[in-house]
Structure 1
């Protein structure tokens, strides 16, 4: 687990969990909450639906994006269902967030997936993709980013391209 462990060693703590409640705001962090989809995303989605000549009625995706900017400058965006459950997270910034806290009970599955990839000679960013969990994580000192989501928990009509 060398590289993965090293990536987590300097991680900023945050207590949230994929599949659970949103993070508790850490000391020195700021929070901004918006309803999704954004106006631009809604307009783009409407245009796609119109161009596809779909006869189905347009439905809006009910979710909220909660962005927490940690004291170290890293932004963590949590995507919440209308019931308040985190179905996706994204991060970007100068330091990795604590993935064990962000992924919660899914963290061991992520570690096992990365270790299996490394054992098969795959190098590069940590990526796990299966029916229960998708995680893309990468970057370098000063510029880390990633996304994680639960495919089975995505709200109807939600596009994973909205996870940014």
Structure 2
């Protein structure tokens, strides 16, 4: 009987691992190239200076971000917005060279921060552990250093966050522009 239980647990775990490995990575790595649009997702590139000034509830958050950008900053980067099949929206902020200098997300599912932050993920984990050791518990987190800033929070069904590389922000762009 124990061997049946072990085999069942093993097969379930194996099946889960196979299913996860079949899902393509959906996120760009911070400091790298933009993501490849996953199956079932839609992508649009929005120039910051082309944002609408309407304030209806259907106006995307990236348009609100674009309205707040100065005209000098508006020509120094592009926002690429991808709406995943899950409904989560990932906004990639791209320099003129095409490098992702910031990422923002909002939606019903928390993205995989390991994929999203790429090589900066270990630095985020270290910073998060330091915050948790000082403050304790769970909840919204802000990790801020001279090389990486990550703000993340929310609750089931409504997650949001931003991550950016302060040294890579184009002239005229601040952390408050990343939304």
2:67, 2:120 → 1: CA distance?
34
Aligned to 2:12: none
The alpha-carbon distance between structure 1 residues 128 and 22, as it changes in their structure 2 partners (threshold 3 A), is: same
Q: 1:15, CA displacement in angstroms?
A: 3.3
Q: 1:42, CA displacement in angstroms?
A: 7.3
The reply to whether residue 129 of structure 1 matches residue 144 of structure 2 is yes
1:141, 1:43 → 2: CA distance?
29
How big is each residue's C-alpha offset from its partner over 1:105-148, in whole Å with a ceiling of 9 and x where there is no partner?
A: 00111111111111123442122001000000000000000000
TM-score of the aligned structures, taking structure 2 as reference length = 0.72
Could you tell me which runs of 5 or more consecutive residues in structure 1 were left unpaired when the two chains were aligned: 1-8, 47-57
Return the match for 2:27 from 6, 11, 15: 15
Return the match for 1:145 from 148, 154, 160: 160
Q: 1:14, CA displacement in angstroms?
A: 1.6
Residues paired across the two proteins, number: 143
Is the contact between residue 92 and residue 100 of structure 2 (CA under 8 Å) also seen in structure 1? Answer: yes
The alpha-carbon distance between structure 1 residues 156 and 121, as it changes in their structure 2 partners (threshold 3 A), is: same
The alpha-carbon distance between structure 1 residues 97 and 13, as it changes in their structure 2 partners (threshold 3 A), is: farther
The alpha-carbon distance between structure 1 residues 22 and 42, as it changes in their structure 2 partners (threshold 3 A), is: closer
Is the contact between residue 14 and residue 97 of structure 1 (CA under 8 Å) also seen in structure 2? Answer: no
Return the match for 1:108 from 122, 133, 137: 122
Q: Which runs of 4+ in 1 moved over 2 A?
A: 37-46, 58-61, 121-124
RMSD value over aligned CA atoms? 2.3
With a CA cutoff of 8 Å and minimum separation of 6, indicate the structure with the bigger relative contact order: 1
2:69, 2:41 → 1: CA distance?
32
TM-score of the aligned structures, taking structure 1 as reference length = 0.79
The alpha-carbon distance between structure 1 residues 67 and 154, as it changes in their structure 2 partners (threshold 3 A), is: same
Find the residue that maps to 1:59 and give its secondary structure. Answer: helix
